[in-house]
Copies of this chain bind each other. A is one copy, B any other.
Amino acid sequence: MENKITSIFNIKYPIIQGGMVWCSGWKLASAVSNQGGLGLLGAGSMHPEVLREHITKMKQATDKPWGVNVPLLYPEIDTIIDLIIEEGVKIVFTSAGNPAKYTAKLKENGITVAHVIANSRFAKKCEDNGVDILVAEGFEAGGHNSREETTTMVLIPQIKKVTKLPIIAAGGIGTGRGMAAAMALGADGVQVGSRFAASKESSAHPDFLKKVIEAGEGGTTLTLKKLGPVRLIHNKFSAQVADAQSKGATIEELQELLGKGRAKKGMFLGELDEGELEIGQISSMIEDIKPVKVIMEEMLAEYRNTLQDLSGKAFQF
């Protein structure tokens, strides 16, 4: 009995740590890889020289497989792609952009490529361009997200219907029950962001993580839809955006309100009023900061219990 995700990446568990800006440096990513998952460096918040430093440290911190998440709209993208190839990175997750541009180059250099999508149209585009694995991310996920707002529950079976590529489910998954549900929907593995962002090994600011723990149901909102939708914890900045949007702010006005560097402010510098606090809806279930080891063990135990519990029920009625 094969699991496509563990086979392709040569890892123990089909649990991928989402590559997140300001949270997933070498400490978090290596901890996840050392526990048998797949750790990803989040290049989206790293200048090339910083990424190189993290890659160097990553190589020292683990001998297990790991990868880099690269948002394709990143301004220094060409430098980043070259650097990744040069450093011999074996696994790249691309997101926020068109898989047509860099997949071939990465594949020619022996890199396994996963691409983050939010609809079937992009699943086909990924297939056509040689992407190896799809990450299908639902509306409930933190940070940047899709305009179509399709939730994980609806998205995964939809993607499963149109492709034979392996599917990693993302969005709303932070527990073993969530992992079991994703597998039931047709996923081969899961990508977990928020739960790992709130780990001891996360590089996020402690004050941001305190907000993550405090965030309850309805504590996040998908906002800035005219610019590019992003899920944030409610704070002073998100209230300003909501107010502006409610009054009919234009794209230009929202762009000006957003300015630059708000994610860094919120998540890395702990400026809780002025920053963007990116996290998923599942933050409502996160009650403490735990080591990656504990997060993984608890998730796997709950996953196994859930499957066992379900296994007797196939012919209950």
CB neighbors of B among A228-267 (8 A): 246-249
CB–CB A1/B312 < 8 A: yes
| Interface set, chain A 108-157, CB cutoff 8 A to B | 119-121, 138-140, 147-155, 157
Contacts of A300 in B (CB 8 A): 317
Q: Are B148 and A151 in contact (CB under 8 A)?
A: no
Given the interface pairs A281-B151, A307-B310, the reply to whether A12 lies near B217 with Cβ below 8 Å is no
Q: What B residues does A182 contact at CB under 8 A?
A: 181
Q: Is A173's CB within 8 Å of the partner chain B?
A: yes
Closest B residue, CB atoms, query A171: B153
A39-47, A88-96, A183-191 - the one binding chain B: A183-191
Complexed CA–CA distance, A221 and B121 (Å): 18
Residue interface mask A164-175, B partner, CB < 8 A = 1: 000000011101
Q: Which residue of chain B has its CB nearest to the CB of A119?
A: B217
Residues 196-221 of A contacting B (Cβ, < 8 Å): 217-218, 221
Contact B150 A152 (CB under 8 A): no
Inter-chain CA distance A246–B247, complex, in Å, is: 8
Distance between Cα atoms of A132 and B74 in the complex (Å): 52
With contacts A138-B153, A218-B148, A314-B308 known, is A177 near B172, CB below 8 A?
no
Q: CA separation between A312 and B1, bound complex, in Å? A: 9
Q: Are B153 and A172 interface neighbours, CB within 8 A?
A: yes
Find chain B residues with CB under 8 A from A184 CB: 177, 180-181, 183-184, 306-307, 310
Asked if A158 is at the interface (CB within 8 A of a chain B CB), the reply is yes
- Nearest B residue to A218 via CB reads B148
- Alpha-carbon separation in the docked complex, A173 to B150 (Å): 13
Please indicate the chain B residues that have their CB under 8 angstroms from the CB of A153 in the complex: 138, 140, 151-153, 171-173, 178, 181
Which chain B residue lies CB-closest to A231?
B149
Contact present for A140 and B154 (CB under 8 Å): yes
13 additional A-B pairs beyond A3-B316, A155-B217, A181-B185, beta carbons within 8 Å, are: A120-B217, A140-B151, A149-B221, A150-B284, A157-B178, A157-B285, A178-B185, A180-B184, A184-B184, A304-B315, A307-B310, A307-B313, A311-B312
Write the residues of chain A forming the contact surface with B, with a CB cutoff of 8 angstroms.
1, 3, 6, 12-14, 119-121, 138-140, 147-155, 157-158, 160-161, 171-173, 175, 177-178, 180-186, 217-218, 221-222, 226, 246-249, 281-282, 284-285, 300, 304, 306-308, 310-317
Could you write out 25 A-B pairs with CB less than 8 Å apart? Answer: A14-B317, A148-B217, A148-B218, A149-B281, A150-B217, A151-B152, A151-B171, A152-B153, A153-B178, A154-B217, A157-B175, A157-B177, A158-B217, A161-B285, A177-B185, A180-B185, A181-B181, A181-B182, A183-B184, A183-B310, A226-B246, A247-B248, A300-B317, A304-B314, A311-B314
